[in-house]
Amino acid sequence: MRLELLVSTKSTREIKTGVWSQFQPVFANALSPCIGACPLSIDIPAIYNLCLRGNWRDAAIELLRYNPLPFITGRVCPQFCRTQCNRGDLDEPVSIRTVECYLGDVVLEEDLFPPVSSFSSKRVAIIGSGPAGLSAAWYLSLYGCKVTIFEEMDHPGGVLYWGIPVFRLEKLYLNKAIERLERLGVDFKVGHKVLPDELEPLKKEYDAIIAAVGLTKSRSLPIRGFEHAISGVELLRRYNRGALELKRGRAVVIGGGNVAVDAARVLVKSGCSVTVVCVEKGDEMPAIPEELEEARREGIVVKDSTAVLAIDKQDGGYVLELAPCRVVGERDGLKEVEIVGDPECLKADYVVAAVGQEAEFSWDAFSCGDVVNGPTTVAEAIAHGRNIAFLLLGLQEPLPIRKRNEVVTYDVLNTAYFSKASAIVKISSKGDVLNEIARCFSCGYCNGCGVCWLFCPDVAIIIDDGCLLEVDAEHCKGCGICAQECPRHVVVMEKRF
Ligand code: SF4
Ligand code: SF4
Ligand code: SF4
**Residue of the nearest CA to atom 5 in ligand 1?**
85
Structure pTM? Answer: 0.89
Same topology, domains 12-28+447-495 and 123-216+359-393? Answer is no
Taking the centre of ligand 1 as the mean of its atom positions, its distance from the CA of residue 133, in whole angstroms, is 30
End-to-end CA gap in the chain? 41
Ligand 1: does its nearest atom lie under 6 Å from the Cβ of 132?
A: no
Q: Cα separation of 220 and 231, whole Å?
A: 9
Ligand 3: does its nearest atom lie under 6 Å from the Cβ of 448?
A: yes
Taking the centre of ligand 2 as the mean of its atom positions, its distance from the CA of residue 458, in whole angstroms, is 7
Taking the centre of ligand 1 as the mean of its atom positions, its distance from the CA of residue 87, in whole angstroms, is 6
Would you state the pLDDT for residue 80? 94
**Interval 213-218 mean pLDDT:** 73
Class of domain 12-28+447-495: alpha beta
CATH fold label, 219-356: FAD/NAD(P)-binding domain (3.50.50)
> Is domain 123-216+359-393 given the CATH code 3.50.50.60 in the classification?
yes
CATH architecture of 33-113+399-438: Orthogonal Bundle (1.10)
Q: Cα separation of 114 and 64, whole Å?
A: 7
More confident residue, 295 or 214: 295
Q: Cα separation of 361 and 342, whole Å?
A: 40
Q: Determine phi and psi for 168, rounding to 5 degrees.
A: -100, -35
Q: Cα separation of 270 and 262, whole Å?
A: 12
Q: Determine phi and psi for 324, rounding to 5 degrees.
A: -65, 140
367: which residues sit within 8 A by CB, 6+ positions away? 210, 211, 212, 213, 388
Residue among 272, 327, 271 at smallest CA distance from 304: 327
Asked whether the predicted pLDDT for residue 1 surpasses 60, the reply is: no
**Interval 230-240 mean pLDDT:** 91
Report domain extents, the chain. 12-28+447-495, 33-113+399-438, 123-216+359-393, 219-356
Q: Could you tell which of 454, 481, 490 is best to mutate to test the pocket of ligand 3, judged by most ligand atoms within 8 Å of the CB?
A: 490
Would you state the pLDDT for residue 9? 67
Would you say the C-alpha torsion 67, 69, 70, 73 has a positive or negative sign?
negative
**Interval 443-467 mean pLDDT:** 87
Would you state the pLDDT for residue 355? 87
User: How does pLDDT run across 140-197, given as a tens digit for each residue?
Assistant: 999 999 999 999 999 999 999 988 999 999 999 999 999 999 999 999 999 998 888 8
**Interval 477-486 mean pLDDT:** 95
User: What 3 state SS string does 53-104 have?
Assistant: CCCHHHHHHHHHHHCCCHHHHHHHCCCHHHHCCHHHHCCCCCCHHHHHHHHH
Buried b (16+ CB within 10 A) or exposed e, 69-83: bbbbbbbbbbbbbbe
**How many C-alpha atoms does 412 have within 13 Å on its Cβ side?**
17
User: How does pLDDT run across 275-327, given as a tens digit for each residue?
Assistant: 999 999 999 998 988 899 999 999 999 999 999 999 999 988 999 999 999 99
Confidence of residue 49 (pLDDT cuts 50, 70, 90): very high
Would you state the pLDDT for residue 6? 63
Mean pLDDT for all residues in the chain:
91
444 touches 402 (CB < 8 A): yes
Tell me the one-letter amino acid at 385.
G
Taking the centre of ligand 1 as the mean of its atom positions, its distance from the CA of residue 103, in whole angstroms, is 17
